[in-house]
Amino acid sequence: MQRRAFLHNLAAVGAISCLPISIQRSLAAEAGAVSVDELPKLEGDLTLYLGRGEGGLYENVLEAIRKRNPNLNLQIRRGATAALANSIVAEAKAGVRRADVFWAVDSGAVGLVSDAGLARPLPADLTGQLKPGFRYPQWAPVSGRIRTLPYNTERLTPDQIPDSVMALADSEFAIGWAPAYASFQSFVTAMRLLQGEKATEEWLRGVSRNATSYAGELGVVMAVERGEVDLGFANHYYTLRLKNGKPDAKVDLAFTNNDAGCLVNASGILALSEGDLPINFIRYLLTREVQSYLATEAYEIPLVNGVKPPQGLPPLSTISPPKVDLTQLADLRPTLNLMRRVGVL
């Protein structure tokens, strides 16, 4: 019901607010998420490079935006986030601009494009809608995901799980992980930035002694629930989605404290071409309707002020993630080299 209501509300062609855009933007900066009814219509040609993610839910958002804006000619190029980021940089070096907007499922890819000097500055009223700690001058986080330790509730109790991710290297827990998964690699990159390469290498070697690899982090969470492993490493939403479909699932979430194990990463979007259209398109993704939809359906964390977090996740204020500039996660090559050297890739 909530999904249908979102799609109806966002796509409806009802009257747009008559407030001057300057007032709308002021309200956005002061009050957090605004409604799509307060935004201008989108008109013209726009090419979006879209990183794959969230099982079609992002596609639902884009289709609703299309229906609401019949004069918007939205062309979408889909692909793996990292590959699209590399394409944008390569196209720029060749003197070609094909993308107007880039929506990436991982902030490291955003950082790659931003570091190449290709992102347009965003207006302060747009970034001002975002929660403190997620305001960047050249890109807008759309939704967040926190690294967690899903654990089997029949094999472990919460007090058995250390609050330091580094301690797991010396534990005898059976651990599930997905080293080839992009979010895991961003997590290892954060560890490398926070703890140094030597400590990260020792951690990878220690954990690998008792680790079982899976193709993705949904597979990790399902293995934890089946009791194949004691705990694992995964973004929070895989556990919440599993529990939504299976309320008696034998899995729950644990969080580490102020280290890479509870990193809050984000999908993000940036504008690559001039004009109002790319910026106003980004505004749609920060509306109350889109943010609520992603929280309800994808169990992602809304990063705009005033939108409720997904059910089953503690408030961010009760979690202690590390202070990391998410764009620094673009420095992935040393991480991949390290993981290959250790033998986990």
CB-CB neighbours of 194 under 10 Å: 17
Is 293 annotated as a binding-site member? no
Q: Name the nearest CA neighbour of 99 among 290, 332, 331, 281.
A: 281
Tokens read off for 20: 């001057």
User: CA–CA separation, 85 vs 320, rounded Å?
Assistant: 30
**Parallel/antiparallel/unpaired status of strands 234-235 and 140-152:** antiparallel
Sequence-distant (6+) residues with CB within 8 A of 284 are 36, 39, 42, 65, 290
Tokens read off for 95: 């003197």
Q: Would you call 209 exposed, middle or buried from its count of C-beta atoms within 10 A (0-12, 13-18, 19+)? A: exposed
Is 299 annotated as a binding-site member? no
The amino acid occupying position 165 is: V
User: CA–CA separation, 167 vs 342, rounded Å?
Assistant: 18
DSSP classification of residue 131: P
User: CA–CA separation, 282 vs 122, rounded Å?
Assistant: 10
Tokens read off for 153: 């509730």
CB-CB neighbours of 245 under 10 Å: 7
Q: Name the nearest CA neighbour of 300 among 122, 139, 125, 105.
A: 105
**Parallel/antiparallel/unpaired status of strands 301-302 and 140-152:** antiparallel
Strand, helix or coil at 202?
helix
Binding region: 237-238
Binding region for Fe cation: 237-238
